[in-house]
Chain A
Amino acid sequence: MLNDQEKVSKALKFSDILITVMVAIVFGLIYKFWGSVYGVVSPLFLKADQLTYGMWFIAGPIAFLLIRKPGVALLAELAASSVSALIGSEWGIQTFVYGIVQGLGCEIIFALFLYRNYSLIVAGVAGLMSGVGSFVVDLAYGYANYELWMLVYKYGLRMISSFVIAGVFAYLLVRALEKTGVTKLIRPVSKSEYASLND
């Protein structure tokens, strides 16, 4: 669904930045505690923990779907991951590096659609790209030396999770937030709204 709004001001206001960082910090805390969910799920079956992995990419899509402006997805993912590092996550400051690449991953997708598409599919693909971003860092880290089946299996699970949690779940969450009316305050205003002042 391509939004047919006319061109509107997309420059970030200070409130956009603060809201993005605020939301990101909330998710940063969730990221930190998600580590234990990850741990609980692990023993279920081989690499079951990968199915929870998508949670760590959710801040970017949520921020973009909420505010709908360029740059917020990257900022949110970076802020969320560095916060979970700053409060002493057991994964440490490596999450900072992951955050940059994951944030870039989803930002690129939103940019490809000129920041005008807010659909579930695009959110899902953006989540998926965050997953790809984390895969790239994993390669540098040394995870590339799995047996091939394991490589495909593990990152396959992670991609599914990225799409479902960071994409679909983020989309549903923002839809629920829209119902509360809070998004009306923070999204760019379309030109047609200005035009209707003259009626």
Chain B
Amino acid sequence: MNTNAVVEVRNLRLKFPGEASLMFKDLSITVPEGQKVLLLGPSGCGKSTLLQVLSGIIPNSIEVPLKYDEIQRSASWGFVFQDPDTQFCMPYVDEELAFVLENLSVPREQMKERIHQALASVGLLLEDPHTPIQTLSQGMKQRLALASILLLEPDVIYLDEPTALLDPEGTVEIWNTVKSIASSKTIIIVEHKIDQIVDLVDRIVLFNHAGEIIADGVPHEIFQKNKQELVQFGIWYPEVWEDYLSSDKYQALQQQYHAELALANELEHTREPVIRLQEFSGFHGDVRKIHVPEAVLYAGEWLAIVGSNGAGKSTFLQSLMQLLRTEGLYQIEGEQIVQTTKRIRKQIVPSQLAFVFQNPEMQFITNSVNEEVSFSSSNVPLSGNDSNGDIQALLNKFDLAGLGERHPYQLSMGQKRRLSIASSIFGGQKIVLLDEPTFGQDARNTFAILEMIEGLRLEGAAIVMVTHDLHIVQHYATRVWTISEGQLIDSRLSGRGGTNGVLYTAENNMALPC
């Protein structure tokens, strides 16, 4: 056994109950003290699972059959999980941190002081630590998670996609915080969005679909030598967007777009907007959470909506869907929409709109993938050979072929996402609203989803999409809105046309010309 290894496993075998094949077969990995390791691999290859085995969560907290020849775990470790909402057990910030101190039997008199220190060291500056955790933004929640781990004073820190749901600003903050506390610690990271951390890690372990290690080395070597595998398995790497932009697929789409653009310029004055808004507001309860002074949306446009966590982006989409109380002028194809008001409680969802929710699981209403896509908004399950063919074609298009009989909940995260998109657009609506459809996806799935949406746009749909990914804003969206504190503060053409580009900056969360 390696002498200065803090975490090590030899010949690990692991299998989820009820699954046909092993997740890991004779996997070995050693991490020496002080190293910063990034585990990289396609979605579903077992990275999170491995992190849980190394930390001891499997099998101590979760029972999963496994065996190994030898294992060494650190007694002193901390774990930040992917989902900010499922790692706290107490209602208030101070109580949550105190919970950790209670577990460590720290005397009560010292608690206030230590809580204060921990909050300070992650830069979570609250007036009063007795603040409800629910009122924090996602980024602040993840910093709280880091703070509670600091209280454990761990030798080894495990980070499982801690920034998956964060805006660019929050992402930068979290990684800066990690860097500031990292120096002497061993850190093992799983992350798809690697831009911010390539300079933090000194080793990358690369996995394939089968959960086997296919490469292991210093970052720049991996990115050079194993480029082929990275591309083949659809894994994020630093220049993935550059490579994608020069790919035939994207170039073809771009050409089509430019042809379309030339045509559209000629027809400019004859175009009718599909959506027109004026002094339009949406409310949560009695509080105005979004206000749009004036805006129009045309068929064939791809509108990206950006803004920090909690700015009101999802609220805007829900207002368009009439799921919230709204007021002001709201026309679709020239017709005023009957709005949900205090008096008119019965919400009527405009039939021209399709909507993809932020959480795909909440969207499924049937027991199989097939039923899910065939369940059109007219609520008549389609029947007959003709529609059966349609369904198969649609499943193929969304890379879901062969999964038709599965329960939607038993798909991988990426597959669930794609199914939720497929099922909500089957009605052929002209306006498609999507709330962060690409978060937590590997590169391959991200591009696949974007190409599908582009396909819809080319067929004449108007796309409205909330996203935190600046590359998407720059290379797919045709127009970009910035929402800040419940106000539409900026609307401009995006860089896709090549003429007026945008640069989205993390500091002030605004789209700027460049």
The answer to whether A and B belong to the same complex is yes
Q: Which residues of A contact B (CB under 8 A)?
A: 9, 13-15, 179-182, 184-185, 187-190, 193-194, 196-198
User: Which of B22, B63, B410 contacts A180, CB < 8 Å?
Assistant: B410
Question: Are B409 and A182 closer than 8 Å at their CB atoms?
Answer: yes
- Chain B residue numbers with a CB within 8 Å of A196 are 15, 65
Question: Are A180 and B409 closer than 8 Å at their CB atoms?
Answer: yes
- Chain B residue numbers with a CB within 8 Å of A179 are 367, 407, 409
User: Which of A9, A13, A14, A197 contacts B67, CB < 8 Å?
Assistant: A197
CB distance from A29 to the nearest CB of B (A): 17
- Chain B residue numbers with a CB within 8 Å of A193 are 15, 17-18, 65
B66 close to chain A: CB less than 8 A: yes
User: Which of B18, B62, B65 contacts A194, CB < 8 Å?
Assistant: B65
6 A-B contacts, Cβ less than 8 Å apart?
A: A15-B62, A185-B62, A193-B65, A196-B15, A197-B22, A197-B65
Question: Are A13 and B63 closer than 8 Å at their CB atoms?
Answer: yes
CB distance from A24 to the nearest CB of B (A): 16
Given contact pairs A184-B16, A187-B17, A196-B65, enumerate 6 new A-B contacts (beta carbons under 8 Å): A15-B62, A182-B409, A185-B62, A193-B65, A197-B13, A197-B15
Q: Which residues of B contact A (CB under 8 A)?
A: 13-18, 22, 61-67, 367, 407, 409-410
B interface SS class: loop
Question: Are A9 and B63 closer than 8 Å at their CB atoms?
Answer: yes
Nearest 6 A-B pairs (CB), nearest first? A180-B409, A181-B410, A193-B65, A194-B65, A197-B13, A193-B17
Question: Are A14 and B409 closer than 8 Å at their CB atoms?
Answer: no
User: Which of B22, B61, B63, B409 contacts A181, CB < 8 Å?
Assistant: B409
A interface SS class: helix
Q: How far is the CA of A153 from the CA of B407 in the complex (A)?
A: 44
CB distance from B81 to the nearest CB of A (A): 14
Among B18, B22, B367, residue most surrounded by chain A Cβ atoms (within 10 Å): B18
CB distance from A91 to the nearest CB of B (A): 27
Q: How far is the CA of A13 from the CA of B57 in the complex (A)?
A: 12
Considering only CB atoms, which chain B residue lies closest to A187 in the complex? B17
CB distance from A194 to the nearest CB of B (A): 5
Considering only CB atoms, which chain A residue lies closest to B16 in the complex? A184
CB distance from A4 to the nearest CB of B (A): 16
Considering only CB atoms, which chain B residue lies closest to A18 in the complex? B89
CB distance from A172 to the nearest CB of B (A): 14
Q: How far is the CA of A196 from the CA of B65 in the complex (A)?
A: 9
Q: How far is the CA of A157 from the CA of B407 in the complex (A)?
A: 37
- Chain A residue numbers with a CB within 8 Å of B15 are 193, 196-197
Question: Are B63 and A197 closer than 8 Å at their CB atoms?
Answer: no
- Chain B residue numbers with a CB within 8 Å of A197 are 13-15, 22, 65-67
Considering only CB atoms, which chain A residue lies closest to B361 in the complex? A180
- Chain A residue numbers with a CB within 8 Å of B62 are 15, 185
CB distance from B100 to the nearest CB of A (A): 16
